[in-house]
């Protein structure tokens, strides 16, 4: 055989001969499978052993090929040396290829939990958040639920008592906006109106109307009832009673009670139940399973739901009477993460908002009494009224480190959402100041309703909460609260420049280390201290910029930036010392 590169000099090619002997082992044929003919049996071995054979391979000689010869050549070539940087020695092992590769790379992959900082939302709250021993109906310790606005009042649009307000102040309501949720007889939108009582962890009882609204923008008692049940089952039931109560997660509301077609029934003689016939209730069925089955969209079993709620109320009352519930909520073993704590507060505060603030939404959105400068500024925005969302405020609490001994001040507090959230989520003293009459009225209403709801849920919110009406530039309480403040929030996105300048004068009273959170910065972009600006307010601030997202605010559909500014007068002092040193040397 000629070389692959040819024989340029025409000389005969030297041929080497290598003899290779192949050894063949004969395996006996496998026995045929029982019940099958011989030609359908399992794979059979060879009928006769293959004869031993010899094969001759012709390998080109050294002179005819630039490649080194293999073993067995008449004149073996010297093996090529591998450079030191490329030479690798495999371990002598019969293990898998992965073990061999591991010899080259000794870096082990990091496990998911090794050295990884957990998400801030998964960190434990780190303080006592429940106070079951301090709540009662009349509020002996300032934590009572008597007089709360009921679900029935919200559905009928006839809020009475302290929250009734003036005639005509409420938006038009009534049962004509609602339709039946359960299809069974007795659950129609007629008298007597279908309802069920829900027992809260404190022992308070509220009647929920079993109707659903025509429009998604209306108050939905069924959704609120589901959310309340889910939170109680998840955060209030001790592990020793989990087998009785079970759980009711948000995803369970949409799960079908029908068995999956992929599941094989244990008995072919018993067909799976259809949507019209209720599933048999067993002793092992938890309360959560009974609720989930009754609320399934393809079932909506009204009578079954009422029975499950009654069973829930009785079981919860037993936990309250024997002290098991209080012992669990105040035990050292109880844990609730920041994200779970925030979600629980959302449910409680949304209940209050839907009852006493939502009826004023139209008046809030089209407020007729803005000052001229503010009215001119907000006319360029997508909406004339906006609120900071729960996620935004939770992020502020996390970033600023608000805690029970802190003081929070909100300038331009609107209906009081952020003020109330800081008081319960961080447990700190909280004060709000709002110029406009309608938001101020809603804030006072919401404050009273939220505090009643805290008592119903045994939440340990700070009772040092105030919502004031008036211009924060001249209000007598503002200066006193600012001197105490650890965190000041100001939603100044629509404030004119003159109002922001007035704020800088007020902030001169802030203590060292106080934090200002704003939607417009008080430190200009690219600010560097020099002789011309060293006496400005920006010279005593350390500012960082952060992003918020589209669902964090209500007045626009996209995100934006907000600014966290910390009062730090030391940098101004250092600059002055530096300048004095230069003058002395000059």
Annotated binding-site ranges: 385-388, 408-417, 434, 471-472
Binding annotation for S-adenosyl-L-methionine = 385-388, 408-417, 434, 471-472
The DSSP call for residue 297 is T
Token pair belonging to 583 = 């003058």
Residue 295 to residue 396: CA distance in whole angstroms: 37
Residue 217 to residue 319: CA distance in whole angstroms: 37
For residue 123, which of 339, 427, 406 has the smallest C-alpha distance? 339
Question: To 10 degrees, what angle do helices 497-506 and 476-484 make?
Answer: 60
The DSSP call for residue 231 is H
Contacts of 93 (CB under 8 A, 6+ apart): 99, 100
For residue 187, which of 273, 96, 300 has the smallest C-alpha distance? 300
Contacts of 54 (CB under 8 A, 6+ apart): 19, 20, 21
Percentages (nearest 5) of helix, strand, coil residues in the chain: 35, 15, 50
Contacts of 137 (CB under 8 A, 6+ apart): 144, 145, 146, 203, 204
Residue 27 to residue 540: CA distance in whole angstroms: 90
Q: How far is CA 274 from CA 271, 286, 287, in A?
A: 9, 21, 22
Tally of CA atoms within 13 A in the half-sphere of 216 that contains its CB: 0
């Amino acid at each position: 055989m000629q070389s692959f590169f040819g024989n340029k000099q025409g000389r005969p090619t030297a041929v080497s001969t290598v003899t290779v002997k192949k050894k063949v082992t004969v395996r006996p044929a496998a026995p045929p499978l029982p019940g099958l003919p011989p030609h359908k049996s399992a794979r059979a071995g060879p009928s006769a052993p293959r004869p031993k054979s010899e094969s001759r391979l012709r390998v080109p000689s050294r002179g005819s090929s630039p490649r080194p010869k293999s073993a067995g050549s008449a004149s073996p070539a010297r093996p090529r040396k591998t450079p030191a940087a490329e030479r690798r020695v495999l371990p002598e092992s019969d293990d898998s290829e992965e073990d061999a590769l591991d010899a080259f790379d000794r870096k082990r992959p990091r496990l998911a939990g090794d050295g990884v900082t957990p998400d801030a939302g998964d960190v434990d709250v780190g303080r006592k958040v429940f106070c079951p021993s301090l709540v009662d109906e009349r509020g002996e310790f300032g934590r009572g639920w008597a007089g709360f606005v009921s679900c029935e009042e919200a559905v009928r649009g006839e809020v009475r008592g302290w929250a009734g307000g003036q005639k005509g102040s409420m938006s038009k309501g009534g049962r004509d906006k609602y339709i039946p949720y359960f299809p069974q007889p007795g659950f129609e939108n007629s008298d007597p109106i279908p309802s069920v009582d829900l027992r809260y962890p404190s022992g308070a009882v509220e009647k929920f109307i079993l109707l659903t609204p025509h429009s998604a923008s209306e108050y939905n008692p069924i959704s609120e009832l589901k959310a309340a049940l889910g939170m109680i089952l998840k955060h209030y039931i001790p592990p020793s009673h989990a087998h009785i109560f079970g759980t009711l997660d948000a995803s369970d509301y949409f799960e079908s009670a029908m068995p999956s077609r992929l599941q094989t029934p244990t008995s072919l003689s018993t067909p799976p139940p259809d949507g019209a016939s209720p599933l048999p209730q067993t002793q092992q069925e938890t309360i959560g399973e009974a609720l989930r089955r009754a609320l399934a969209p393809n079932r909506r079993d009204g009578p079954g739901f009422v029975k499950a709620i009654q069973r829930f109320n009785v079981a919860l009352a037993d936990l309250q009477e024997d002290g098991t519930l209080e012992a669990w909520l105040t035990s050292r073993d109880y844990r609730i993460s920041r994200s779970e704590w925030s979600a629980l507060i959302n449910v409680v505060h949304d209940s209050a908002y839907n009852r006493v603030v939502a009826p004023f939404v139209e008046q809030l959105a089209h407020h007729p009494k803005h000052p001229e400068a503010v009215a001119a500024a907000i006319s360029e925005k997508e909406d004339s009224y906006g609120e900071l969302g729960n996620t935004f405020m939770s992020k502020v609490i996390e970033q600023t480190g608000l805690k029970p001994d802190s003081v929070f001040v909100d300038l331009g507090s609107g209906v009081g959402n952020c003020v109330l959230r800081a008081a319960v989520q961080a447990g700190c003293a909280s004060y709000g100041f709002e110029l406009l009459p309608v938001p101020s009225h809603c804030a006072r209403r919401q404050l009273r309703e939220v505090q009643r709801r805290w008592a119903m849920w045994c939440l340990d919110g700070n009772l040092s909460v105030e919502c004031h009406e008036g211009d924060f530039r001249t209000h007598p309480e503002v200066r006193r609260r600012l001197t105490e403040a650890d965190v000041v929030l100001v939603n100044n996105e629509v404030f004119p420049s003159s109002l922001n300048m007035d704020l800088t004068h007020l902030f001169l009273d802030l203590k060292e280390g106080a934090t200002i959170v704003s939607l417009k910065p008080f430190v200009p972009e690219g600010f560097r201290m020099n002789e011309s600006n060293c006496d400005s307010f920006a010279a005593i601030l350390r500012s960082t910029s952060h992003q918020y997202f589209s669902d964090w605010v209500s007045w626009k559909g996209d995100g934006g930036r907000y600014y966290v500014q910390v009062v730090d007068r030391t940098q101004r002092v250092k600059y002055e010392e530096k300048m004095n040193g230069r003058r002395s040397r000059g």
